[in-house]
Structure 1
Amino acid sequence: MKTVVTAKLKLNTTPEQFKALRTTQLAYRDSLNYVSQYAFAHGKMSNAVRLQDATYEEIRLRFHLPSQMACSVPRQVGASYKTLWTKVKNNAVHRKEGKTKKRYKGLDKAPTFISPTLTYQYKKDYTFKKEQQVSILTLEGRVIVPYTGYNKHVALIQRGAEIGASKLWYDKPKKQFYLLVSLAIEMADPTPETHKQVVGVDVGMRYLAVTATMQGDCTFHSGKQIVPKANHSARLRKRLQKKGTRSATRRLVAISGRERRLKQNTNHVVSKRIVLQHPQSLIGLEHLTDIRERTKRRKGKNAKQRKANRTFSKWSFAELHSMIAYKALLHRSMAIKVDANSTSQACPKCGHTCKENRPNKGLLFVCQNCQYTLHADLVGARNIAMRTLLIRQDWRGTGLLSVRAFCVGR
């Protein structure tokens, strides 16, 4: 079993190397937009092979990209169109079932690639050298650049870890290049015997994460200090968007970066605490895919409904889940997805499920059948833990994991 981690390497470039990398990035982005326009004009094509056959020569002539990069461009565009087509089909199903009235508009016009981040293929576009140096392909040929990074990641690279594709990312405010390298790490195959403890994780806004074990232990990870900052950023962003000036736009870019870093750092801290508190555990996470379409919160156009939608869209729970998943593998644990339906409305004692179990949709859970009373988020975590326990018991009895493991690189 393998898990994939991303090593972020800081490139210490000279002015000439900086210029060469930046020029290559912009040419790559321009070629992405050219192929995107071509795909849109020819039936919103998503087949990477057909796109490459039709655009390869033009990419080489017009943008002067090396051969491997010219092959990577149609693949990336084709993958983007496949994703958009999947969203269109899912939206059609949801509209037919009455879950939403909105039509997905992602393919109404050709997707535009704004980020200049480009993809490098290992041993074709870039290779690692001795003394912490990397050879990178540009429009002007290869450049050898020294790099620095997290000691453990650098050690994995030097010790012969399985290296995959990488992305050249440019931090515009700092005017700094980073190479994001995929590293595959070999892990021992999980068994029920190696995951003795079961943990349920419930995510939310008041508490970013609440954990519960089958032994009755629980932990609350509050968002009291973080969520107000996110709310402030949302209000400030709304005012700046209404203003619409160039200085307001620059300010919006700075705010978006700060907010993204705040959420990412918080998710890193919370996920690390959860994994370190529960080593060698089977961690249950809610299956939240299409949760916005599956909930009734989106129905209605009044201010209260719109505010509720904004509130539940502010935090990146998918990012938190992915961080828990890959950190769990590194600490001999594993995260899986379980059904998220009615986790905070079902009584963990008698099983009675109804909306009235949460009076006024508050933090207090009161079972209308047996009068069992508890914190609503803790009830959700306990229900997730019990569903995870059922999966573990089935795994132990059959030898097969009955649900797809939510593991990075699995």
Structure 2
Amino acid sequence: MKQIITAKLKLITTPVQFAALCQMQLVYRDALNAVSLYAFAHGKTSNVTKLHKGMYAELRARFGLPSQLACSVERQVSATYKGLWTKLKKNGEHRRAKITKKRFKGLDQPPHYSSPTVQYTYERDYTMKTERRVSVGTLNGRISVPYQGYEKHLALIRQGATIGDAKLWYDRHKKTFYVLVSLSIDLSEPTEEHVTEVVGVDVGIRYLAVTSTSTGTASFHPGKWIRHRANHDARLRKRLQQKGTRGSKRRLRRIEQRERRLKAQANHCIAKQIIRDHPHALIGLENLTDIRERTKRKRRRRKKNGKGHEPVSPKARKANRVYSQWSFAELQALISYKAALMGSLVIKVDADYTSKACPMCGHTEDANRPRKGLLFACQNKRCRYTLHADLIGARNVTMRTLLVRQDWIRTGCLSAIPDASDKEAKAARLRRYVELRWSPEVTTSLRSQTGGR
């Protein structure tokens, strides 16, 4: 099993090298925009061959790019257009299914590249040298620059980790260049015998993560302070944008990435703590594809004549902003790669009704979450089970993960992610989930069927 990580190497440049790298970045960005305009004018094509035939000579002559960097520009623009076409296709499916009414506008104009980040290909545009030096390509040839970095990443480079492509990135605040190098590490894939624990993780906004083991041990990772800080930054940005002075624009530039860095740091700490508390575990995560479309607040129809729609309320706009900035995918990705490094396995299970289904009796309805709060109260008169709603979700994820592990032992094949394209298979899985019950007897029975662990 291969795990890819990114090593961030700080370049110690001289003034001449600094100027050469700056020039390289600006020319590369201009080349990206030129190829983007060409692709847009020729049917918004994402075909690399067409872009190569139409723009390669101009990239070499007009911009002075080396051959490999010219090809990298074409591939990067092609990937951008492929992503936009995929989003357009998905938007069409959502509009036909009446999930959304908005039309995707990403292809109305040619994509514009503003970030001066350069894509380097290993052993063509850059190479790693001895004595902690890296040779990177510029418009005037190669330059050899010393670098610094995280000691564990430097040790991986010395030990012969597979080195992939890299990005030349400039930190404007620190006025420093970095090379972001992709490292591929060979890891032994854990077998069923090495898995000693099953953990379910429920991600959310009020609590960024809630975990539950098959024995009932739970942990909560609150995110209230993150949400409050994000709301404060949103109000601050709104005031500065309305002011429009030179000082307000300088302040906006200083705080533009502060919220993203804060959330990334919180997600790193949470993922590290979860993996440290549960080594050699089978960790179940929710498959939250298209969650933003399902949770988005929509405009309501007018009550008087039924024509038109009411404007979205400020409260609904605030909720939409909070959901749009919810970094659940980043947290799940951090858990996945940290788990692989620690000898654990991560799988995804269906997220349907995990916070609405009672784990004790199986009763499922929206009323089990009164006012969509943090209290879960089963409406089944024979059950009336009450617990923290996010812990209910974590326990349901745990039971579904136990079921996947049971199938893994029986068939010898582990399903890392559920097949969402087959509706019949998904319906069969949901019927199996309805039969699951959370109780010491049933949990012990499932654990005994999975090897007593």
TM class, shorter-length: over 0.9
Query: Counterpart in 1 of 2:254?
Result: 254
Query: Counterpart in 2 of 1:220?
Result: 220
Map of 1:120-199 to 2, 5 A cutoff?
120-199=120-199
2:385 matches 1:376: no
2:347 matches 1:365: no
Shift of 1:275: 0.6
> Are the aligned partners of 2:201 and 2:283 in contact in 1 as well (CA < 8 Å)?
yes
> Are the aligned partners of 2:133 and 2:146 in contact in 1 as well (CA < 8 Å)?
yes
> Are the aligned partners of 2:347 and 2:415 in contact in 1 as well (CA < 8 Å)?
no
What are the superposed Cα offsets for residues 145-185 of structure 1, whole Å, 9 maximum, x if unpaired?
00000001001111111000000000011110000000000
Q: Take 1:147 and 1:155, find their aligned partners in 2: how far apart are those partners?
A: 14
SS of 1:63's partner is coil
Say what the alpha-carbon RMSD is for the aligned residues.
1.3
Shift of 1:227: 2.4
Q: Take 1:381 and 1:115, find their aligned partners in 2: how far apart are those partners?
A: 39
Query: Counterpart in 1 of 2:238?
Result: 238
Q: Take 2:249 and 2:87, find their aligned partners in 1: how far apart are those partners?
A: 29
> Are the aligned partners of 2:356 and 2:369 in contact in 1 as well (CA < 8 Å)?
yes
Shift of 1:299: 4.7
2:404 matches 1:391: yes
Which one has a bigger Cα radius of gyration? 2
Q: Take 2:246 and 2:352, find their aligned partners in 1: how far apart are those partners?
A: 45
What are the superposed Cα offsets for residues 172-210 of structure 1, whole Å, 9 maximum, x if unpaired?
111100000000000112322222311111111211111
> Are the aligned partners of 1:263 and 1:315 in contact in 2 as well (CA < 8 Å)?
no
Query: Counterpart in 1 of 2:337?
Result: 326
Q: Take 2:23 and 2:277, find their aligned partners in 1: how far apart are those partners?
A: 46
Q: Take 1:177 and 1:397, find their aligned partners in 2: how far apart are those partners?
A: 52
Return the letter of the residue paired with 1:64.
Answer: G
What are the superposed Cα offsets for residues 243-264 of structure 1, whole Å, 9 maximum, x if unpaired?
3344333322221222121111
SS of 2:239's partner is helix
Structure 1 runs (4+) deviating above 4 angstroms are none
What are the superposed Cα offsets for residues 298-338 of structure 1, whole Å, 9 maximum, x if unpaired?
45423332222112223311111111110000000121221
Query: Counterpart in 2 of 1:347?
Result: 358
What are the superposed Cα offsets for residues 115-138 of structure 1, whole Å, 9 maximum, x if unpaired?
001110000011111110000110
Query: Counterpart in 2 of 1:59?
Result: 59
Shift of 1:296: 5.4
Shift of 1:219: 0.3
SS of 1:297's partner is coil
Query: Counterpart in 1 of 2:414?
Result: 401
> Are the aligned partners of 1:100 and 1:293 in contact in 2 as well (CA < 8 Å)?
yes
> Are the aligned partners of 1:200 and 1:284 in contact in 2 as well (CA < 8 Å)?
yes
Return the letter of the residue paired with 2:412.
Answer: G
Map of 1:107-118 to 2, 5 A cutoff?
107-118=107-118
Q: Take 1:388 and 1:243, find their aligned partners in 2: how far apart are those partners?
A: 52
2:328 matches 1:302: no
Unaligned runs of 5+ in 2: 301-311, 419-453
Q: Take 2:37 and 2:129, find their aligned partners in 1: how far apart are those partners?
A: 38
Count, aligned residues: 405
% of aligned pairs identical?
62
Deviation larger for 230-239 or 113-122? 230-239
> Are the aligned partners of 1:298 and 1:309 in contact in 2 as well (CA < 8 Å)?
no
> Are the aligned partners of 1:359 and 1:366 in contact in 2 as well (CA < 8 Å)?
yes
> Are the aligned partners of 2:161 and 2:183 in contact in 1 as well (CA < 8 Å)?
yes
Deviation larger for 373-382 or 338-347? 338-347
Query: Counterpart in 2 of 1:408?
Result: none
Q: Take 1:317 and 1:190, find their aligned partners in 2: how far apart are those partners?
A: 25
Query: Counterpart in 2 of 1:87?
Result: 87
SS of 1:107's partner is coil
> Are the aligned partners of 1:292 and 1:298 in contact in 2 as well (CA < 8 Å)?
no
Deviation larger for 227-236 or 395-404? 395-404
What are the superposed Cα offsets for residues 265-290 of structure 1, whole Å, 9 maximum, x if unpaired?
11111110011011011111111221
